[in-house]
Structure 1
């Protein structure tokens, strides 16, 4: 009696073993192997019960669709890998620069400078911005004066009136005399973390990790 294994052997088809258990295994063949197998099946078919032509055509069509789907998935994966690599390359060029991100915490850059931007919901006749340490002490007060609604930038060199450095630690941004819809601060980009497949690179800053999409502006 001719077995399936005999047909594979006579067709000269090499079968790859992709996974095994104690009882069964999963086997795969390529398109060329499939055609050889079909030809050999025709040679060894029972003359009193020949293969149905429609069934054979349907099997070939199904195999072709699966083959095309597999190749398409591989192509899309290659594109995804290339795009991920490009994102990482682009993000790596940001190292050493600063990015403006939504945060109520300000950290100093290499020069010891604190900077950021608040967004006022309406005009104000006089507002002030306090930089407060983790113990609740106000380290610096910046007089903003009268301001129109919208974005207002702030800056502090980290020194007191006598030129002594008093900054250095993360400080909380608090606004008095105005209503703020958004607070953002500048953070230095120290490193870039390689992304997982299909995800954005991670930008490492003193404020935490961000993606390039989190940057309101790049400086």
Structure 2
């Protein structure tokens, strides 16, 4: 239970004594408490000796300061949250790993291998994936065969029929014989960028920069 008491100020007005809060009630005063007290004080003041402007300004400043401190505390909590989880600490541990992200571009990993995934809305027969270079040439066609609806992975070791490296850079993903609802590829995480503005960290890959939440899967 919270009990309160009143004291009389120099103008003869009854005001709230914040130091008498006891029991299980609030031990601090927020903006609404200040506003309620100020309103009550103005209603109870002696019409012949009203509160002067100096007192009014001082009490309004107290309300403003209380609000500012509350907002600052909320900002600090938000910053603390950003510094954990998806911020630099956890994200840095992803360097060197591969993440599956939505992209119609496939990039080779350290071993020169290309891998990705298409998502089918319905079953299909005879679908395939073409990996196409920047000149529009099909470098590799990957047959998928008969597939049920859902996620279908694809993979290429980056070599031709004679075992020689056939590609070393990013290749476009083109799906034949099906209309996937989503196309994704695996990308190696090379670095982590922590923006100066305090926003969430970005994972740097050959396909671009991504948020940790963009990862469909991690390997």
Report how far residue 79 of structure 1 moved. Answer: 1.8
Name the SS of the counterpart of 2:83 in structure 1: helix
2:132 paired with 1:168: no
Superposed CA offset, 1:60-108 (max 9, x none): 4312211212222322232232222222212111111111111110000
Name the SS of the counterpart of 2:77 in structure 1: helix
Query: Separation in 2 of the partners of 1:177 and 1:150?
Result: 15
Report how far residue 211 of structure 1 moved. Answer: 1.1
Superposed CA offset, 1:2-37 (max 9, x none): xxxxxxxxxxxxxxxxxxxxxxxxxxxxxxxxxxxx
Aligned equivalent of 1:189: 189
Aligned equivalent of 2:145: 145
Query: Separation in 2 of the partners of 1:206 and 1:156?
Result: 17
Identify which of 72, 75, 94 aligns with 1:74.
Answer: 72
Query: Separation in 1 of the partners of 2:198 and 2:114?
Result: 34
Aligned equivalent of 1:37: none
Q: Is the 8 A contact 1:84 1:195 kept in 2?
A: no
Bigger proportion of residues as helix = 1
Report how far residue 167 of structure 1 moved. Answer: 2.0
Name the SS of the counterpart of 1:189 in structure 2: strand
- What RMSD in Å do the two structures reach over aligned CA positions? 2.0
Name the SS of the counterpart of 1:80 in structure 2: helix
Query: Separation in 1 of the partners of 2:218 and 2:132?
Result: 25
Name the SS of the counterpart of 1:175 in structure 2: strand
Q: TM-score, normalised by structure 2?
A: 0.71
After TM superposition, where is structure 1 displaced by more than 4 Å over at least 4 residues in a row?
54-57
Name the SS of the counterpart of 2:108 in structure 1: coil
Identify which of 74, 83, 86 aligns with 1:85.
Answer: 83
Query: Separation in 2 of the partners of 1:128 and 1:80?
Result: 47
Task: Figure out how many residues of one structure are paired with residues of the other and give that number.
Answer: 170
Query: Separation in 1 of the partners of 2:197 and 2:75?
Result: 9
Aligned equivalent of 1:203: 203
Q: Is the 8 A contact 1:120 1:151 kept in 2?
A: yes
Report how far residue 51 of structure 1 moved. Answer: 7.4
